[in-house]
Amino acid sequence: MIMQTGKNWRWDPWREMERFRREVDSLVTGTRRLPAANFPPMNVFSGDEDVIITSEIPGIDPADIELTVTGDTLTIKGTRKPQEVREGEKWHRRERGSGSFYRSVQLPYNVDGNKVQADYAKGVLTIVLPRSEAERPRKISVTKGN
């Protein structure tokens, strides 16, 4: 793979070796998998009141998803069961991986774990994590001195 840095082009042998390894793995296993650090993909955004995370996890039973919050860290664990083909059929192409996944993300502040809400619809997990009361910004009044 050739990388552009400024106006110069250079070949990165390490990146090329990693790409080659992924291609060989996909040929051997018949699947393509995202690196563990990138699955499930997440969008994280926050405001003063809460953090919202959306994550694309298609083909999963919500009962197979486990969420835990500890301080300022959210962990998503789960399992995607392999799709089976009927007798007499064989795979032509299989790109969606199966198996267990695990991902932790550090949040911008501590959240109230008792008030977290999670919804799974159309393959997208949406998690709303309210900021803990102790972490909320407080307005401080300034009084006029003598």
- Tell me the per-residue pLDDT of 4-40, one tens digit each, with 9 for 90 and over: 445 555 677 787 888 788 777 767 665 555 455 567 8
Same domain, 43 and 18: no
Determine, yes or no, domain membership for 90.
Answer: no
Same domain, 21 and 51: no
Full 3-state SS string of 98-129 = CEEEEEEEECCCCECHHHCEEEEECCEEEEEE
- Domain extent, residue 20, equals 1-32
Same domain, 76 and 110: yes
Determine, yes or no, domain membership for 56.
Answer: yes
The CATH number for 75's domain is 2.60.40.790
Same domain, 9 and 75: no
If one counts the domains in the chain, the total is 2
**Predicted TM-score (pTM) above 0.85:** no
